[in-house]
Amino acid sequence: MNSLFDVQGKVVLITGASRGIGKEMATAFADAGAIVYGTASRPESISQGHNPAIQMSACDVRDRGMLKDLMLRIKATHGRVDALINNAGITSSSLASQVSDEEMQSLFETNLKGLFSACQVYYSTQKREGCIINISSASAMRAMPGTSFYGSIKAGVIQTTQALAVEWARRNIRVNCISPGFIKTDMNAHLRQNESTAAQIAASIPLGFIGEPADVSGAAVFLVSNAARYITGHNLVIDGGALSRASF
């Protein structure tokens, strides 16, 4: 492998790594020779298709203490955590008039506050140098029915990324964001099971097909590699060109 894109031996922590995009990213890093740690919100999620090359732990990203203990354990073993990927999150498709206080609180606590806390813990345990990738969503930049509060929270992830990139640049901690569009995961399997709906979704994407989790994992590996050493504060949209298409 060209050393410019090499992540061999890098220590990477990925939250929400038991399924979907997080699991695919963890697998991609492990296949590329990285030392990969992953989290799942529940212990029972760890055994679901577990890859022995990925060291999984149960960790609630809303719990700052659990996050800190995990990062300190990793650092005690390897001396560093080269990259933190904040992938853990929950989704919502509730219409604006139907979003409950409980749902808003849950989305905020997990998708933004938990992510921000993880960034803070990472910063506090790093001396110099590091890399953070936050996972947002194309919903943060394009209004669609059922994404009002979810999209607002994900927009906050992009702003958080840019602010931290500026604040932490002097410590050489790069902070970037990936915003996937419609990607095949178990969270949207119910939509894809309807052939007509799946065809409509694919037709709305300029490239003409629905993305796979692997389409996101390659970008994550790139952003952690030395090839991206001068990239920080960037939001990389991976959506097959959907955001570029006119909405009318």
The phi-psi region of residue 199 (left if phi > 0; otherwise alpha if psi is between -120 and 50; otherwise beta) is: alpha
Give DSSP secondary structure letters for 93-146. Answer: ---GGG--HHHHHHHIIIIIIHHHHHHHHHHHH-SS-EEEEEE--GGGTS--TT
For the record, the structure tokens of 196 come out as 């007509």
Taking Cα atoms as reference points, which of 20, 68, 18, 12 lies closest to residue 39?
Answer: 18
Given strand 235-238, what is the order of strands in its sheet?
Answer: 54-58, 35-40, 11-14, 83-86, 130-135, 173-180, 235-238
Q: Annotated catalytic residue: which of 37, 122, 123, 150? A: 150
123 counts as catalytic: no
Residues 179, 141 contacting (CB under 8 angstroms): yes
Taking Cα atoms as reference points, which of 234, 232, 236, 223 lies closest to residue 83?
Answer: 223
Residues that are catalytic: 150
